[in-house]
């Protein structure tokens, strides 16, 4: 029985693609294939949820967990960037217009 391949998509951290492949080879004895959008592994080697756990360990070890998170969707494990809205800075001491009228 042939299982479909399990992929890792990492659009925001493409420069870490080879580091992740080496991490999976070294620590988990897996043989990922480098693809344009990320990595691909044979379905017999690992399940999606096991791969998600492994990729999460990699993200934590590289301290990417401050800006990225890992999610499993079908046969794909995705490394996504947090969407944080920029807050406007509030002036603690706003300057108000003078309302004093001099009536001499």
Mean pLDDT for the stretch of residues 42-57: 89
pTM greater than 0.85 = no
The answer to whether the beta carbons of residues 75 and 4 sit under 8 Å apart is: yes
Contacts of the segment 67-75: beta carbons below 8 A, 24+ positions apart:
68/12, 68/13, 72/48, 74/48, 75/4, 75/5, 75/6, 75/7, 75/43, 75/48
* Residue 1's pLDDT band (cuts 50, 70, 90): very low
Mean pLDDT for the stretch of residues 13-23: 92
Is it the case that residue 45 has pLDDT exceeding 90? no
Boundaries of every domain in the chain: 6-81
Q: Which helix (H) or strand (E) holds 91?
A: none
Rounded to an integer, what distance in angstroms lies between the CA atom of residue 67 and that of residue 34?
23
């Amino acid at each position: 029985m042939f299982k479909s391949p399990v992929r890792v998509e990492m659009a925001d951290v493409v420069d870490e693609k080879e580091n992740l492949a080496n991490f999976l080879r070294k620590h988990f004895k897996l043989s990922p294939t480098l693809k344009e959008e990320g990595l691909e592994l044979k379905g017999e080697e690992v399940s999606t949820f096991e791969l998600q756990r492994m990729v999460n360990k990699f993200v934590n070890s590289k301290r990417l967990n401050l800006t990225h998170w890992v999610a499993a969707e079908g046969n794909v494990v995705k490394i996504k960037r947090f969407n944080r809205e920029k807050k406007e800075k509030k002036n603690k001491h706003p300057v108000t217009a003078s309302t004093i009228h001099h009536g001499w």
